[in-house]
Amino acid sequence: MCFPHAGGAASAFLPLSRALGGHLDVLAVQYPGRQDRRREEPYGSIAAHADALAEAMVPLTGGTYALFGHSMGAVLAYETARRLVDAGRPGPCRVFLSGRGAPSPLPSVHDRLGGDREILTAVRGLGGTGHLVLDDPELLAMVMPALRADYGALGAYHWNGGSPLAAPVTVLIGDADPVVAVEEAAAWHDHTTGDFDLRILPGGHFYLDDRTDEVRDIITTSLLVAGSTA
């Protein structure tokens, strides 16, 4: 199961899904407030969002599965996995956390944005949303509600303790990511009792757009090493 970034939609994982075709069955979360769910109210907190995701995923936990989350999606993948295990459901065989530092008691400085102008500046700096969207008033009006809700949720999110994951974790970041330092990514090690692997790839925050084949190989190799057929 793949979890998109802030302001992102399930379609963000289309290239990776195609690359993994024939190897794995790939599902991607479509958050409310965008694309075919654009008329639905987006979640205003990470906790509420993760609660809903965990509930929706219960039917999928009867078999072997893995989670992949990018940026905000990494936080949601982590919190969803925690909720599933706390509810007595089988946990994921592996969790892939991309483009995000480990959670801490205080929100990341990069998430505490004061309004639309700061959000748009941050989004432009990360490069994940095309300038054609950001420069078109009509398209921008369509994506801003989701961006406001997602960044508001991230700005209020803080880690509240609890047991680490038992699942092995693979963390992936770009070597030129402007908002995630290597040491912040490496700190995910403290949030699992399982195997931990940190992969640093060339690129910025959205390195996976240009490194799809490498990410595919990391995912498939990691799952094969674990003896998984997720």
The CA distance from 171 to 26, in Å, is: 19
The CA distance from 111 to 89, in Å, is: 31
What 120-128 contacts at long range (C-beta under 8 Å, 24+ apart), as own/partner pairs, is 122/151, 123/7, 123/147, 125/178, 126/178, 126/179, 126/204, 126/205, 126/206, 127/204, 127/205, 127/206, 128/5, 128/7, 128/8, 128/71, 128/205, 128/206
Helix ranges (H only) for the chain are: 14-20, 46-57, 72-86, 116-126, 131-134, 137-156, 182-186, 212-225
Cα–chain-centroid distance for residue 152? 16
- Give me the catalytic one of 11, 17, 71, 104: 71
- Would you call 71 a catalytic residue per the annotation? yes
Catalytic residue positions?
Answer: 71
